[in-house]
């Protein structure tokens, strides 16, 4: 039997050899950090510090502003310089490092992590500011509180890391398999289920072995080797591959009794519950042919990515593209003075000469996008409706089920930016719905 | 050959009789006023009224579901015609004609790009990438989405990548106003000539860093305005100079004192249009598609 997988998908070149054998090294202490108030899906945090305040490592500096929201913490000790907007990141709290590296007294190990009630554990996760580290940054305490009528019977940890170039999760799985298993057990306890599995692509068999070894004593935890195919690490694709269940259109994993978390999130959960550590650092892969010495760093949240790039020896030459995240789903940046956030899994710098910027041509109806769509949508149809401004028709063609993985744009021989059109249709429909709601509220 | 002709003639005759009978028997009485209303409407199906095209609005007006002045592009003229057809009193048509003004002067000469945007040429899509490629997060993105959505072809992009509205063609349907992701297009009475071409609400230093003609909130205009019509007011998340058009009398004092050339005094639009008409008559090659500023719409 071959490795488990899903329908559709693409096989982009991996480029993971640049960093996959490089151990996670602590990044240099940054001179200053820019901590965005919004590092999660939902309402941005309310800042609870002001200019000239002194803060310590792990001190809460922004509190949750609603149910779907999270908290943020100082990742260095120092003084709050200002709260200013950074283009693309919203309002950020700027902290100057005083070099004292003082820990906040609130960060202390929990004497009895086993005896905590479920609500206490959820509260610890909220107060530690834990969000999904895979990139979507969904607040974990919300994910861990499924409604009563939707019982969870399996927790899946996502070790797919299907995006080319990124190796942050791969290194975490190799170096801290015990902590991942510990975190998985806590998550299983919180959502009251007895089955856990970890899905890892089969191009990382060393990680599969390490996790199997760490999980040796636990019968209810299975490490599943999945076919190396993009987007294997997509939540819905992972569920399909591991369990054969299909998340219904417009539904969430909990509709089929499953909670999915990134492997890094599991470690953050274990650290928060046992050691009381809030989420103030994460593993970031700094890579690409534009970086002199690609590496994996454990970086403080808010570190300007320029400092990580400098630690890697800087750029090799003229950079054509700087991306936060992977090449397929990451966001292009225009400046390296932007912070590492909780969702930054990698920084990718590509040389200008290595980019292929072919011009867009007409759709030739080859349907390659339809073949590769992991959801089974017709990207070309939705794209056409988006171009025409036919939002209702786009909606009828299930535009909201698109996970924006970019497989269609990758495959398109006419080089049509399908994803841009599809994301635009989503934005316009959401905007229209919001306006209609506001109108209805006024009336 | 002969039987074929005969049978076709017979079939044709039979269908003719059936259709003639059916048209008498199933005749639907259509009120001629409905057709008259549809004729009075502009017929461009722009959708500004919210009904499915001009036919939809004609039906709605006839059935009393919509008022006689429901067509924004038609204005008071069309409203009066329809009111005549419906036998109603026309609404007072003394309201000033509204035209579209762009509240940004940051074309590519004045406001550079922070990154090279390579993607779909649509302002709304470009804005979703870090607020758009322009140095100013509030300014016109210059990709011409307003010109594209205009059903009347009344907007074109000038050499500086800013939209220019042909007030002759513009019917004030408002589709561009709704479409602009930066909310920079605004309805203003046609007699108003002084406009603050900036909606950047950042502090002066930051605004100036991005654009040569940004409002720097120095308040010189506010202090010098004899009519007390212009104020640096809170707008969005910051402040920017905003004119109270009810008080402004086009004196142009603020235009003179503004050191950033943010505030502009435009020519009388009527005069500009007249000049264009004269030009058109001079030379048969002149299509007259431009509003007279010498910029070709084609």
pLDDT of residue B29: 78
Q: Check CB contact of B131 with chain A, cutoff 8 Å.
A: yes
Closest CA to A198 of A181, A186, A182: A181
**A427: Cβ–Cβ under 8 A, 6 or more apart, which residues?**
B124, B128
| Domains in chain B: boundaries | 31-95, 98-265
Q: For the purposes of burial, counting CB atoms within 10 Å of the CB of B10, is it exposed (0-12), middle (13-18) or buried (19 or more)?
A: exposed
Average pLDDT of the residues in B88-103: 74
Rg (CA), chain B: 26
A129: which DSSP letter? T
Please report residues of A whose CB lies closer than 8 A to that of B50.
none
Q: Check CB contact of B177 with chain A, cutoff 8 Å.
A: no
pLDDT of residue B163: 95
Distance CA A344, CA A138 (A): 13
**Is the predicted pLDDT of residue B291 greater than 70, yes or no?**
no
**Is the predicted pLDDT of residue B296 greater than 80, yes or no?**
no
Selected residue of B129, B131, B181 to mutate for chain A interface (largest A Cβ count, 10 A) = B129
**Is the predicted pLDDT of residue B288 greater than 50, yes or no?**
no
**A300: Cβ–Cβ under 8 A, 6 or more apart, which residues?**
A27, A29, A30, A33, A75, A76, A280, A281, A340
Confidence of residue B290 (pLDDT cuts 50, 70, 90): low
pLDDT of residue A392: 94
Question: From the list B115, B128, B149, which residue is nearest A334 (CB)?
Answer: B115
Question: From the list A88, A424, A428, which residue is nearest B130 (CB)?
Answer: A88
Distances B82 to B50, B67, B87, B169 between C-alpha atoms, Å: 18, 10, 8, 21
Confidence of residue B91 (pLDDT cuts 50, 70, 90): low
Confidence of residue B147 (pLDDT cuts 50, 70, 90): very high
Provide ipTM, 2 decimals.
0.85
Please report residues of A whose CB lies closer than 8 A to that of B122.
424
Confidence of residue B92 (pLDDT cuts 50, 70, 90): low
Secondary structure element (H or E) that encloses residue A14, with its range: none
Q: Which has the higher per-residue pLDDT, B215 or B86?
A: B215
Please report residues of A whose CB lies closer than 8 A to that of B124.
424, 427-428
Selected residue of A87, A92, A320, A430 to mutate for chain B interface (largest B Cβ count, 10 A) = A87
Selected residue of A323, A363, A419, A424 to mutate for chain B interface (largest B Cβ count, 10 A) = A424
Interchain proximity A333–B130, CB inside 8 Å: yes
Residue of A nearest to B123 (CA): A424
b (16+ CB within 10 A) / e for B79-108 = bbbbbebbeeebeeeeeeebbbbbbbbbbe
Interchain proximity A87–B125, CB inside 8 Å: no
Q: Which ranges constitute the DSSP H helices of A253-358?
A: 263-275, 305-311
Q: Check CB contact of A101 with chain B, cutoff 8 Å.
A: no
Average pLDDT of the residues in B252-281: 70
Q: For the purposes of burial, counting CB atoms within 10 Å of the CB of B218, is it exposed (0-12), middle (13-18) or buried (19 or more)?
A: middle
Distance, in angstroms, between B130 CA and closest chain A CA? Answer: 4
**Cβ contact A134:A325 at 8 Å:** no
Note the pTM of the prediction, 2 decimals.
0.82
Distance CA B76, CA A380 (A): 44
Q: What DSSP letter does each residue of A179-237 carry, written as one string?
A: HHHHHHHHHHHHTT-S-EEEEEETT-HHHHHHHHHHTTT-TTEEEEEE---BTTTSHHH
**Is the predicted pLDDT of residue B294 greater than 70, yes or no?**
no
Interface size A-B, in CB pairs within 8 Å, comes to 34
Selected residue of A324, A338, A420, A429 to mutate for chain B interface (largest B Cβ count, 10 A) = A420
**Cβ contact A10:A230 at 8 Å:** yes
**A247: Cβ–Cβ under 8 A, 6 or more apart, which residues?**
A235, A236, A239, A253, A255, A256
Confidence of residue B131 (pLDDT cuts 50, 70, 90): confident
pLDDT of residue B169: 85
Dihedrals φ, ψ of A262, to 5°? Answer: -70, 150
As a whole number of Å, the end-to-end CA separation of chain A is 60
Dihedrals φ, ψ of A375, to 5°? Answer: -95, -20
Average pLDDT of the residues in B88-106: 77
Query: What average pLDDT does the structure give for chain B?
Result: 84
Interchain proximity A417–B128, CB inside 8 Å: no
A278-282, B32-36, B185-189, B227-231: which range is least confident on average?
Answer: B32-36
Query: What average pLDDT does the structure give for chain A?
Result: 93
pLDDT of residue A134: 87
CB atoms inside a 10 Å sphere around CB A172: 26
Residue of A nearest to B116 (CA): A334
Ranges of residues in chain A whose predicted pLDDT is under 50:
1
pLDDT digits (tens, 9 = 90+) for B224-263: 999 999 999 999 888 999 999 999 999 999 999 999 999 9
The answer to whether domain B31-95 and domain B98-265 are alike in fold is no
Question: What superfamily would CATH give domain B31-95?
Answer: Electron transport complex subunit B, putative Fe-S cluster (1.10.15.40)
CATH architecture type of domain B98-265: 2-Layer Sandwich (3.30)
**Is the predicted pLDDT of residue B89 greater than 80, yes or no?**
no
Q: Check CB contact of A311 with chain B, cutoff 8 Å.
A: no
Residue of B nearest to A435 (CA): B178
A239-243, A430-434, B34-38, B275-279: which range is least confident on average?
Answer: B275-279
Q: Hey, what are A123's tokens?
A: 């509260």
Please report residues of A whose CB lies closer than 8 A to that of B115.
332, 334
b (16+ CB within 10 A) / e for A351-360 = beeeeeeeee
Confidence of residue B298 (pLDDT cuts 50, 70, 90): very low
Distance, in angstroms, between A417 CA and closest chain B CA? Answer: 7
**Cβ contact A88:A335 at 8 Å:** no
Q: Hey, what are B107's tokens?
A: 């074309």
Q: How many residues does chain B have?
A: 298
């Amino acid at each position: 039997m071959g490795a488990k997988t899903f329908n559709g998908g693409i096989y982009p070149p991996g480029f993971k050899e640049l960093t996959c054998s490089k151990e996670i090294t602590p990044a240099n202490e940054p001179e200053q950090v820019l901590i965005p108030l919004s590092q999660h899906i939902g309402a941005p945090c309310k800042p609870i510090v002001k200019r000239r305040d002194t803060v310590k490592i792990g001190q809460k500096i922004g509190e949750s502003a609603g149910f779907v929201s999270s908290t943020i913490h100082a990742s260095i000790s120092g003084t709050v310089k200002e709260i200013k907007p950074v283009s693309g990141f919203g309002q950020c709290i700027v902290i100057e490092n005083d070099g004292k590296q003082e820990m906040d007294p609130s960060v202390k190990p929990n004497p009895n992590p086993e005896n905590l009630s479920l609500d206490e554990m959820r509260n610890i996760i909220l107060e530690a500011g834990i969000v999904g580290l895979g990139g979507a940054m969904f607040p974990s305490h919300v994910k861990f509180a499924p409604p009563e009528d939707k019982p969870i019977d399996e927790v899946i940890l996502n070790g797919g890391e299907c995006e080319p170039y990124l190796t942050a999760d791969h290194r975490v799985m190799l170096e801290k398999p015990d902590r991942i298993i510990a975190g998985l057990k806590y998550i299983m306890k919180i959502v009251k289920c007895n089955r856990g599995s970890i899905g890892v692509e089969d191009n990382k068999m060393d990680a599969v072995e390490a996790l199997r070894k760490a999980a040796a004593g636990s019968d209810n935890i299975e490490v599943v080797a999945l076919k190396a195919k993009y987007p294997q690490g997509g939540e819905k694709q992972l569920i399909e591959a591991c369990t054969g269940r299909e998340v219904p259109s417009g539904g969430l994993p909990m509709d089929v009794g499953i909670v999915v978390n990134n492997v890094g999130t599991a470690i953050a959960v274990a650290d928060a519950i046992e050691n009381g550590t809030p989420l103030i650092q994460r593993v970031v892969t700094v890579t690409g042919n534009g970086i002199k010495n690609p590496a994996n760093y454990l970086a403080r949240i808010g570190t300007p990515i320029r400092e990580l790039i400098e630690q890697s020896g800087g750029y090799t030459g003229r950079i054509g593209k700087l991306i936060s995240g992977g090449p397929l789903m990451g966001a292009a940046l225009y400046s390296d003075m932007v912070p590492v956030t909780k969702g930054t899994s990698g920084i990718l710098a590509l040389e200008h000469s290595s980019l292929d910027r072919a011009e867009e041509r007409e759709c030739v109806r080859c349907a390659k996008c339809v073949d590769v769509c992991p959801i089974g949508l017709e990207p070309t149809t939705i794209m056409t409706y988006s171009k025409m401004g036919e939002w209702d028709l786009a909606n009828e063609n299930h535009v909201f089920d698109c996970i924006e993985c970019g497989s269609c744009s990758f495959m398109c021989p006419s080089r049509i930016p399908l994803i841009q059109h599809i994301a635009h249709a989503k934005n316009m429909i959401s905007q229209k719905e919001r306006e209609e709601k506001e109108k209805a509220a006024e009336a | 050959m002969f039987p074929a002709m005969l049978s076709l003639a017979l079939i044709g005759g039979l269908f003719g009789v059936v259709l003639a009978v059916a048209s008498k028997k199933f005749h639907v009485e259509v009120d001629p006023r409905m057709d008259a209303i549809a004729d009075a409407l502009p017929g461009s199906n722009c959708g500004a009224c919210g009904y499915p095209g001009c036919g939809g609005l004609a039906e709605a007006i006839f059935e009393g579901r919509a008022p006689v002045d429901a067509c924004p592009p038609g204005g008071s003229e069309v409203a009066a015609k329809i009111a005549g057809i419906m036998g109603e009193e026309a609404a007072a048509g003394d309201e000033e004609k509204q035209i579209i003004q762009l509240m940004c002067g940051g074309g590519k000469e004045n406001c550079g790009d922070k990154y090279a945007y390579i993607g779909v040429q649509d302002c709304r899509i470009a804005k979703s990438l870090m607020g758009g490629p322009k140095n100013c997060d509030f300014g016109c993105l210059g990709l011409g989405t307003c010109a594209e959505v205009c059903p009347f072809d009344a907007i074109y992009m000038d050499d500086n990548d800013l939209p220019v509205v042909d007030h002759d063609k513009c019917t004030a349907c408002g589709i561009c106003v709704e479409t602009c992701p930066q909310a920079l297009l605004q309805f203003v009475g046609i007699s108003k000539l002084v406009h603050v071409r900036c909606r950047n609400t950042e502090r002066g230093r930051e605004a100036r860093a991005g654009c040569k003609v940004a409002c720097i909130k120095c308040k010189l205009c506010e202090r010098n305005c004899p009519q007390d019509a212009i104020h640096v007011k809170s707008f969005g998340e910051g402040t920017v100079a905003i004119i109270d058009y009810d008080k402004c009398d086009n004196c142009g004092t603020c235009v003179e004192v503004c050191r950033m050339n943010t505030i502009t005094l435009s020519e009388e639009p009527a005069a500009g249009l007249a000049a264009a008409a004269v030009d058109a008559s001079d030379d048969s090659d002149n299509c007259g598609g431009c509003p007279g500023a010498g910029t070709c719409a084609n």
